[in-house]
Amino acid sequence: MSIPQSGGGPIESFDQLAGYLESGCKPKEDWRIGTEHEKFGYCKDTHLPIPYDGPRSVRAVLEGLRDKHGWAPMEEGGNLIGLTKGGANISLEPGGQLELSGAALETIHQTCDEVNEHLREVKDIADKVGVGFIGLGAAPEWTHEQMPMMPKGRYRLMTSYMDKVGTMGKSMMYRTCTVQVNLDFSSEADMVKKLRVALALQPVATALFANSPFFEGKPNGHKSWRARVWRDLDPARTGMLPFVFEDGFGFDRYVDYALDVPMYFVYRDGEYIDALGQSFRDFLNGKLPALPGETPTLSDWADHLTTIFPEARIKKYMEMRGADGGPWRRICALPAFWVGLMYHQDSLDAAWDLAKHWDAETREAWRVEASVRGLQAIVGGRRMIDLASEVLDISRAGLKARARPGLGGMVQDERHFLHALEDSIETGQAPADELLEHYHGDWNGDLGRIYDEYSY
Give the H or E element holding residue 349.
helix 345-355
Neighbours of 335 (CB within 10 A): 29
Residue 7: pLDDT above 80? no
| Number of structural domains the chain divides into | 1
Residue 182: pLDDT above 70? yes
Domain-embedded: residue 55: yes
Domain-embedded: residue 376: yes
Structure confidence at residue 3 (pLDDT): 62
Cα–Cα dist 78/73, whole Å: 11
User: Could you read off the pLDDT of 40-62 as tens digits, one per residue?
Assistant: 999 999 999 999 999 999 999 99
User: Could you read off the pLDDT of 194-214 as tens digits, one per residue?
Assistant: 999 999 999 999 999 999 999
Q: What residue type is assigned to position 58 of the chain?
A: V
Percent above pLDDT 70 for the chain: 98
Q: Is the dihedral of CA 53, 55, 56, 59 positive or negative?
A: positive
User: Could you read off the pLDDT of 220-258 as tens digits, one per residue?
Assistant: 999 999 999 999 999 999 999 999 999 999 999 999 999
Owning domain of residue 358 = 31-150+176-234+321-454
Of 245, 241, 274, 247, the residue nearest 260 (C-alpha): 241
User: Could you read off the pLDDT of 263-276 as tens digits, one per residue?
Assistant: 999 999 999 999 99
Domain-embedded: residue 343: yes
* Contacts (Cβ under 8 Å, ≥6 apart) of 334: 35, 179, 180, 181, 205, 209, 320, 323
Report how far apart, in Å, the C-alpha atoms of 175 and of each of 90, 168, 215, 440 are: 18, 10, 9, 23
Domain-embedded: residue 269: no
Q: What is the mean pLDDT of residues 293-307?
A: 97
Neighbours of 322 (CB within 10 A): 30
Domain-embedded: residue 355: yes
**pLDDT-derived band at 409, boundaries 50, 70, 90:** confident
User: Could you read off the pLDDT of 410-423 as tens digits, one per residue?
Assistant: 999 999 999 999 99
CATH code, 57 = 3.30.590.20
Cα–Cα dist 384/206, whole Å: 11
Domain-embedded: residue 346: yes
**Reported pTM:** 0.97
Domain-embedded: residue 194: yes
Residue 331: pLDDT above 80? yes
Report how far apart, in Å, the C-alpha atoms of 402 and of each of 125, 331, 339 are: 37, 20, 9
Domain-embedded: residue 225: yes
Structure confidence at residue 8 (pLDDT): 75
